[in-house]
Structure 1
Amino acid sequence: MEIMTTLPLAADELLTTTRSVRKRLDLDRPVPMSLVRECLEIALQGPSAGNRQGWHWIVVTDPEKRAAIGGYYRRSYFEYAFSGTTEGAAGEDDPARAETQSRVNSSAAYLAAQLANVPVLVIPCIEVPDGELPAGSQASLWGSLLPAAWNFALAARARGLGTAWTTLHLTYEEEVAELLGLPPGVRQGALLPTAYFTGENFKPAPRIPLEQVLHVDAW
């Protein structure tokens, strides 16, 4: 397999500049499947409970299927946007975060409108007995998929690709599963729109100070 030259990013820079890319996704530039496969090879190095590796990866490039998924995603987004629980609402009582949250809302709306035009949609999935999610803690189940999916996002960033971590399509998980022919025992964990990104680079995002969320030995 031919390996693409990665960007000259130190580990800390890679980890702090792998951002959710929405408005800066290049909707016109095709993404080679060989590059997606390269990122998925790195995704497969993620951990899984008992080394079961029960993950599956759906890569959607067909325009009609992307359009159908985009339709479900757009419906889900508007239901969410008018629910009062959006990212913007999270910062309405904090003026310091209001501007950032406003940008998040704007970019989320943009992605909802343009998802069908993103050249590659990656849907990480996990095998679940009978397709029924556990009634109790699901940490082991999703912990066997989501780190690998984040590996994909990191690998994509290192190769000049942008991604956005989203789960809004899961409101219509059954419809998307039928569209893609998923068997009953396979559940979707996320949706990663993937494309080259525009502009020069990314910088770390503003975050709540560590002192406000750190607890040592007790709450």
Structure 2
Amino acid sequence: MSPLNLSIDELLTTTRTVRKRLDLTRPVEAEVIAQCLQLAVQAPTAGVGQNWHFLVITEPAQRKDLAELYRKGWETNREFIEEHTAAALAGDQAAMYTRVGASAHYLLKHLHEVPVHVIPCIEGRSENLPVIQQAGLWGSIMPATWSFMLAARSRGLGTSLTSYHLFFEREAAEILSIPYEQIMQTALIPVAYTIGDTFKPAVRKPLDEVLHWNRW
């Protein structure tokens, strides 16, 4: 797959969370995933050395098991999701939340059909660490994860950074033979070619509402 002809600014502003527009019927070549990961491993990393890994899942049975954990995680968090959504629907972004909710439910139903799942992992666990050390762990894996998603977008692939399966991370570790005590999963990224490759920048708050100079 040849990269799309996107400028850097276009790539940064149109790499969206893709759910409904994932092509569930088109295979994704292993070499394309490898190309994206080869770029991802060049991301900056906190601390000394590269202490992160990417697990690529293409086997249907494993994807089915992960999707079941994902749905179970969503059910575990359902009350929070519904309360948060209800509050959002009462505000001025109701249309956006309705659209995102429909998209999220679509992925919930079809995750097992997405041809590739990618799980970024980090060596070590963060549960009992002080914030400074947690920041080091997450600050190592997330730049590489985002680089992977940008590289995927540039090649016509859609991605979505999800996390519901992490409610049952230990079970996922057993499915994937991950040594749970030594390796922490940080996300589950569905990857597929997109239906169409034109995406628009998202509606965001004005920069002045989120920008602070020198002091809050």
Query: TM (normalized to structure 2)?
Result: 0.94
**Which deviations, in whole Å up to 9, do the C-alpha atoms of 1:68-108 show, x marking residues without a partner?**
0000101111332332466634623422x110111111111
Provide closer, same or farther for how the CA distance between residues 50 and 89 of structure 1 changes in structure 2, counting only shifts above 3 A: same
Structure 1 counterpart of 2:155, one-letter code: R
Query: Which one of 40, 43, 58 corresponds to residue 43 of structure 1?
Result: 40
Q: What is the aligned counterpart of 1:111 among 100, 107, 112? A: 107
Q: Deviation string for 1:100-123 (max 9, x for gaps)? A: 111111111111111111000000
Separation in 1, partners of 2:11, 2:201 = 10
- Which of these residues, 127, 132, 136, is aligned with residue 133 of structure 1? 127
Q: Give the match's secondary structure for 1:208.
A: coil
Q: Per-residue deviation at 1:209?
A: 1.1
Paired residue total? 213
- Assess if the C-alpha contact under 8 Å between 1:90 and 1:101 holds in 2: no
CA distance in 2, matches of 1:86, 1:32: 40
1:182 to 172, 178, 181: 178
Matched, 1:214 2:208: no
Regions of 4+ moved over 4 Å: 84-87
Q: Answer yes or no: is the 8 Å Cα contact 1:31–1:120 preserved in 2.
A: yes
Distance 1:155 1:87, change over 3 A: farther
Residue 145 of structure 2 aligns to which amino acid in structure 1?
A
Unaligned runs of 5+ in 2: none
Tell me, which stretches of 5 or more residues in structure 1 are unaligned? none
Q: Could you say what secondary structure the match of 2:2 adopts?
A: coil
**Residues of 2 paired with 1:216 and 1:90: CA distance?**
30
Q: Which amino acid aligns with 1:116?
A: H
CA RMSD after TM alignment: 1.5
CA contact (8 A) 1:87 1:105 kept: no
The residue type equivalent to 2:17 in the other structure is S
Q: Is the 8 A contact 1:87 1:104 kept in 2?
A: no
| Mapped pair 1:80 → 2:77 | yes
Tell me the residue number matched to 1:61: 58
How high is the sequence identity, in percent, across the aligned residues?
48
TM-score (norm. length: structure 1): 0.92
| Paired AA for residue 197 in structure 1 | T
- The 3 A distance-change label for structure 1 pair 132 and 10 is closer
Distance 1:89 1:23 in 2: 22
1:200 and 1:57 map into 2 onto residues whose CA distance is: 25
Q: After superposition, what is the alpha-carbon deviation per residue over 1:142-181, rounded to whole angstroms, capped at 9, x for unaligned?
A: 0000110000000000000000011111001000011100
- Can you list the C-alpha shifts for 1:50-84, whole angstroms capped at 9, x where unaligned? 34111111100000000000001011113323324
